[in-house]
């Protein structure tokens, strides 16, 4: 199955309710600091919305809830990998996406045979404090050569205007957060993204 090239990340099912009807086909639900009950409610709502709209839902971090609630994909950051039960994730038939930022992390992740590898931040990002500065487009090209057939996701500081360059550099998918969620008109921004990536 080929994943869509536009990959927005949202922190609540309300965003999915707004954006899926516009044609979003790949989306990540990333929730921080929510009680477990709320997490499970959000995952279940998002799962149903994505099924209704024929979209792929990726659950960030909450792999056990993703298994319990019959989801298809989970995304793990490097810290999450230390605590996650990868064999349980695989046994449940979930596909796995993983974040990478440097050579050691990439080597570690490729040994897990992930279903996609994310590289970030490609550009400076306002979303989280990171010890890595921007990776730049040459790094995207280098990573793609190393991951081969595995889809490569570019993330960090993404905008519609930067999308084409990141895809040309070798990324298969461009992932975005604040360019949509902080936009004054998020719906029209999503339409621009869809136009720019398809």
Residues taking part in catalysis: 30, 99, 128
- 50 DSSP 8-state letter: H
Give how far Cα 162 sits from Cα of 31, 41, 75, 83, 85, Å: 26, 34, 23, 34, 36
Q: How far apart are CA 116 and CA 172, in angstroms?
A: 10
Count of CB atoms situated within 10 Å of the CB of 157: 21
Task: Estimate to the nearest angstrom the gap between the alpha carbon of 138 and the chain centroid.
Answer: 21
Using only C-alpha atoms, the chain has a radius of gyration, in whole angstroms, of 16
Coil, strand or helix at 150: coil
Q: Which of 95, 157, 85 is nearest to 124 (CA)?
A: 157
């Amino acid at each position: 199955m080929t994943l869509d090239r536009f990959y927005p990340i949202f922190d609540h099912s309300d965003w999915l309710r707004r954006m899926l009807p516009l044609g979003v086909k790949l989306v990540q639900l990333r929730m921080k600091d929510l009680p477990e009950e709320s997490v499970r409610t959000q995952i279940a709502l998002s799962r149903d919305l994505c099924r209704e709209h024929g979209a792929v839902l990726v659950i960030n971090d909450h792999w056990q809830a993703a298994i319990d609630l019959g989801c298809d994909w989970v995304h793990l950051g490097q810290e999450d990998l230390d605590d996650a039960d990868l064999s349980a994730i695989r046994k449940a038939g979930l596909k796995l996406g993983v974040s990478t930022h440097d050579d050691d992390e990439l080597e570690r992740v490729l040994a897990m045979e992930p279903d996609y590898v994310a590289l970030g931040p490609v550009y400076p990002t306002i979303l989280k404090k990171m010890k890595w500065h921007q990776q730049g487009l040459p790094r995207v090209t280098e990573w793609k050569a190393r991951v081969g057939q595995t889809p490569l996701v570019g993330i960090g500081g993404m905008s519609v205007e930067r999308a084409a360059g990141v895809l040309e550099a070798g990324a298969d998918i461009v992932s975005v957060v604040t360019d949509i969620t902080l936009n004054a008109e998020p719906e029209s921004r999503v339409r621009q993204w869809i136009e720019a990536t398809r």
